[in-house]
Structure 1
Amino acid sequence: MASLDSVLTCIDLNLDQSLGRLFELLRIPSISTDPKYRSECRRAADYLAGDLAAIGFEASVRDTNGHPMVLARHEGPEGAPHVLFYGHYDVQPVDPIELWNSDPFEPVVTEGPDGAKRIVARGAADDKGQLMTFVEACRAYKAETGGLPCGVTILFEGEEESGSPSLLPFLEGHKDELKADAALVCDTNMWDRETPAISTGLRGLVGEEVVIKAASRDLHSGYYGGAAANPLHVLSRILGALHDETGRVTIPDFYEGVDEVPADVKAQWDELNFSEEDFLGDVGLWLAAGEKGRSVLEQTWSRPTAEVNGIIGGYTGAGFKTVIPAEARAKVSFRLVFQQDPEKLRENFRRFVRERLPADCSAEFHPHGGSPAIQLPFDSPWIAAASEALSEEWPNKAAMIGMGGSIPIAGEFKNQLGMETLLVGFGNGDDAIHSPNEKYEMTSFHKGQRSWARIIERIGRGVAA
């Protein structure tokens, strides 16, 4: 414990220096989606590799078909676990620039409405501030003890904000270098400003576009109305049949692989003081939709969904046109939980559509990606270790939460490398990631460093399988 205490003191005493290093990284406009910033993405990769090498990591910049990866490794004590830490150095575009209160690539420290200090810049929270909390924890450990309490490999990518096209090939081609006992991902939030969170589950995602075709051309609704199949009607009936009156999805075998959340975990969720009224009220709603008898947290964290994201067909321009369209299309997404199989769900959806088609109509399908859900066992020793460490740093005990969104990298760590992923981040819900005036709380940056120091120290003491 003495060495951990000295590491935490080192972090406290060097906060200004760590902030300066973060500012250097934030000043690099590493926008991965815009080709004109390609050299800036490489500059960010070079900066991180150089910084990690200065700490004592074996670090290098690895070329890909897109933006480069940063890969670094530091051995731990003999017999200690080895972890893979993932983050991304690329950032979103800054548009609309006129809504920023300051230069998005000239970071500043401002005060929020509550007087708390915050770091404002593009990438402050997503993900440069977050990844640097881990780097700074490693730096303090090296400075105070000369080593790290566990083995650490670091992978920073530069295409997360543009779909990660190079990530899967990189994982497949570097399995031996990346393999570890567990992965750590920092691209997540706390429950609130005083309650850290461990995301135990991420919903998977299946995207489908369905096109219903009928007549060989658009038809005059006066000549053909009533006699000719209308693809919009057909599509609407099919989409309307996706849910029953209780909100359950009606696709056969849809709930195969969906488990119930343990009673003690549900009880913990009930203790989070989550307001369904406020959650829905923030977007102008007040009635919970979805499955009857399920709380909003259950619906968004541990239950699968089928959502219609867009319907296109017929005449949608100005004025009016009496037409029966030749085709209609819809974009549909499914959020997956637990052990649902993305490809089986996709095939079952397509069969569901085809079985409801009139004989003279047809359907085409266009896939838009698919990834399984990630669910750590609720009794995972990695969760227990991180929870113990976090609860020693923050005023409140760490919350075990789910996530309604999807982070495909976690699935790939499981599929390609056979590793579970521990998701711990220090962002806040109002950090305005992807928006003007993105910020990262100074408390998140400071206590995030201290938290990671505690976590890797606890992991170094051993995690029972």
Structure 2
Amino acid sequence: MTDISSILDRADGNLPSSLEKLFDLVRIQSISTDPAYKTECRKAAEWLVADLSTLGFEASVRDTPGHPMVVAHHPAGKANAPHVLFYGHYDVQPVDPLNLWENDPFAPEIKDLGNGRKVITGRGTADDKGQLMTFLEACRAYKEVKGELPCRVTILFEGEEESGSPSLKPFLEANAAELRADYALVCDTSMWDRETPAISGGLRGLVGEEVVVTAADRDLHSGYFGGAAANPIHVLARIIAGLHDETGRVTLPGFYDGVIETPTEIKAMWDNLGTTAEKFLGEVGLSIPAGEQGRSVLELTWARPTAEVNGIVGGYTGEGFKTVIAAQASTKISFRLVGDQDPQKIRDSFRTYVRSKIPADCKVEFHPHGGSPAIHLSYDSPLLNTAKDALSREWPKPAVVIGMGGSIPIVGDFQRMLGMESLLVGFGLSDDRIHSPNEKYDLSSFHKGIRSWIRIMDALAS
């Protein structure tokens, strides 16, 4: 491992100019979901290409049916250096409602919160412009001191992440050979807290299902037909109630096939983070965990599969009262997957279960809403542990390996389409208000994020 103290010093000295570059990018109103901002999205892509070119990258704007991609390449200074693909997105969420912003969302500035805490305000500062700029500024400091980069680097920035990434998979398929690397670096995640960096070791997969049960050929009078005619709401209620047993486990046959138990040492690490059920649920006015018994709230949300009802509709729901038996009722149910659970097997098992509960004179329809497997980086992965050690040298507290209850589709695409593991390192915080008014990014997240990527790149190259 090289002596990087001079590179870290350069990053410190560059901080004012690094902030100015971030401010320039944040000022571009690259809202991908609104067609009115199409030219702004291209402007952001072109700005990034110009900035990457100043770093010696061979960079270009790549057109898609939607907003353009940015692709750039830089060779390593030494032969046999690892090849990394760094991913980020330059598009941002809409700013509505504008009246709730304390400042212009596209006029970034430094705000002093007191107690030595300063933040960068503006839409996209945390999600994801500030995050991606930490990596570019790390490359800048490294090159200015060493004249080269320690790794071979490919950059992929997209402009549709906040609007569903419709162009991403076709682009990956068409450019797989160009984009494939030893592993991917993704900076769109968070730290545990302001002093504790985190690596996300897993992302839960997802299966979405909509179920529509039809009974009579019209809504019925509940006095005239009640007690004799099948009620589709009752049918759905029985189906939903039967999805879990009294211990909170999901009852579908084969549901836990492929579920991997979290290692004892990892669960101990999570326990040491100090998150109790009362603290975690207290923020939303609850206190009692509702999932599998005998599991901590972090294990339940990071490493265990779930079946959750996301909505149920049927009968009369308007003002007043209407004594009716609905002809039709529907529910939307999502399954979060972990380990090696197979989305299609989960879907098939669920549908078989539902059909077994449908009366012979009723009908059921299914409408799928997406399906993707979980992504998991082995806890003993050299990639993970190298990055963990590098981060721990930069921050006040050692890095922790956490899980993520949600999904980042690009990580699965990298694994399935390009055969790459992904290292998920981000410097966001839970109070960054991403997707909400008054988004911010801590100045320490930006500054130490730059220093962190310098350490990680150097460690990976060594």
TM-score band w.r.t. shorter chain: over 0.9
Q: Following the alignment from structure 1 to structure 2, what is the Cα–Cα distance between the partners of residues 349 and 229?
A: 22
In the aligned structure 2, how far is the partner of 1:350 from the partner of 1:106? 51
Question: How much has 1:219 moved relative to structure 2?
Answer: 1.2
Task: Report if aligned partners of 2:187, 2:426 keep a CA contact under 8 Å in 1.
Answer: yes
Post-superposition offset of 1:276: 2.3
Q: Which residue of structure 2 aligns with residue 142 of structure 1? A: 143
Which runs of structure 2 are paired with 1:15-54 in the superposition (5 Å)? 15-54=15-54
Q: Which amino acid is the alignment partner of residue 133 of structure 1? A: T
Alignment of 1:47-446 (within 5 A): 47-76=47-76, 77-446=78-447
Which digits, 9 at most, give the CA deviation of each residue in 1:117-176, with x for residues without a partner? Answer: 100100010000000000100111111111100111110001111111111111111001
CA drift at 1:2: 5.9
Compute the displacement of 1:6 (Å). 1.5
Partner-residue secondary structure (3-state), 2:223: helix
1:346-378 superposed Cα distances (whole Å, 9 cap, x missing partner): 111111101111101111111111111111011
Aligned length: 461
Return the alpha-carbon distance in structure 2 between the equivalents of residues 245 and 202 of structure 1: 27
Shift, 1:264, TM fit? 1.2
Q: Indicate the SS of the match to 1:61.
A: strand
Contact between 2:277 and 2:288, CA under 8 Å: does it hold in 1?
Answer: no
Whole-angstrom distance in 2 between the partners of 1:128 and 1:13: 21
Deviation at 1:203, TM superposition (A): 0.6
Specify the SS of the correspondent of 1:393.
coil
- Residue 218 of structure 1 and its aligned partner are, at CA, apart by 1.2
CA deviation after TM superposition for structure 1 residue 275, in Å: 2.9
CA deviation map 1:297-347 (0-9, x unaligned): 110011000000000111111111111111101111111101111111111
Counterpart-to-counterpart distance in 2, 1:270 and 1:370: 31
Q: Distance in 1 between matches of 2:146 and 2:58?
A: 18
Note the C-alpha offset of 1:392.
Answer: 0.7
Q: Whole-Å Cα distance in 1 between the matches of residues 113 and 400 of structure 2?
A: 25
Q: Which aligned runs of 4 or more in structure 1 are off by greater than 6 angstroms?
A: none
* TM-score normalised according to structure 1 size: 0.98
Q: Which runs of 5 or more structure 2 residues have no equivalent in the other structure?
A: none
State the alpha-carbon separation in 2 of the partners of residues 412 and 10 from structure 1. Answer: 35
Deviation for aligned residue 1:45: 0.6
Distance 2:75 2:211 in 1: 50
* Cα offset, 1:3, TM superposition: 5.1
Show CA shifts across 1:89-136 (max 9, x none). Answer: 000111111110000000011012534110010001000000000010
Residues 3 and 144, structure 1, Cα contact 8 Å, conserved in 2: no
Sort the Cα spacing of 1:311 and 1:113 in 2 relative to 1 into closer, same or farther, 3 A: farther
1:3 touches 1:145 (CA, 8 Å); kept in 2?
no
Q: In structure 2, what residue type is equivalent to 1:430?
A: D
Amino acid at match of 2:271: D
Report the aligned-residue RMSD: 0.9
Whole-angstrom CA distance in 1 between matches of 2:237 and 2:276 = 34
Alignment partners' CA distance in 1, 2:251 and 2:239: 11
What is the alpha-carbon distance in structure 1 between the residues aligned to residue 235 and residue 112 of structure 2? 55
TM-score, normalising length: structure 2: 0.98
Q: Is the 8 A contact 2:258 2:340 kept in 1?
A: yes
- Partner AA of 1:34 in structure 2: D
> Contact 2:206–2:337 at 8 Å: present in 1 too?
yes
Query: Could you give the per-residue CA deviations for residues 217-264 of structure 1, whole angstroms, max 9, x where no partner exists?
Result: 111112211111110000011011000000000011000000111111
**AA in 2 matched with 1:425:** G
Name the SS for the 2:240 alignment partner.
helix
Letter in 1 for 2:25: L
Does structure 2 retain, via aligned residues, the 8 Å contact 1:203–1:374?
yes
* d(CA) in 2 for partners of 1:246, 1:254: 15
SS at structure 1 position matched to 2:52: helix
Identity %: 67
Q: How many angstroms apart in 1 are the aligned matches of 2:2 and 2:249?
A: 54
C-alpha distance after superposition, 1:15-37 (max 9, x if no partner) = 00000000000001101111101
Q: Distance in 2 between matches of 1:235 and 1:386?
A: 47
- For the Cα contact (< 8 Å) 1:257–1:338, is it kept in 2? yes
Moved more, 302-311 or 263-272: 263-272
Secondary structure at 1:210's aligned position in 2? strand
One-letter amino acid of the counterpart of residue 88, structure 1: H
SS of aligned partner of 1:222: coil
